[in-house]
Structure 1
């Protein structure tokens, strides 16, 4: 297999895992699959992280995410599956 094919498969897997995180968080259901709302909320995150309370927000979000992974036995890969 060529290097570009391997890279493309890695990128595809990464994007699928990130999409899975959006679904797993319930965002898709809560927004009625409104992509503008989902994208808007994702755009809000960098603003929050770059604010004077960004480190506090990151720590809170990380703690909630780790807790959710531990609480869901169906998550076979844990947080590492979404950290790339």
Structure 2
């Protein structure tokens, strides 16, 4: 495995862990979530936006013959804007 796909593997593992935690929270009735759980849900969503954004940018750099390691995570608000 080369460094480029190794970096992507780590991002995918992080996405998997975040999705698992998000799913566990969502399985609870939404109105029964505590304020802390709701806050954590927002944090998870922001982190997932950042991970997916980074993964897309790494793949785009590699596709065009550039170094995928040049991609760095964006701030959550910035990553969210590019989601749409």
TM-score over 0.5 for the pair: no
Q: Calculate the TM-score normalised by the size of structure 1.
A: 0.35
Answer 1 or 2: higher relative contact order, Cα 8 Å, separation at least 6.
Answer: 2
Q: Calculate the TM-score normalised by the size of structure 2.
A: 0.35
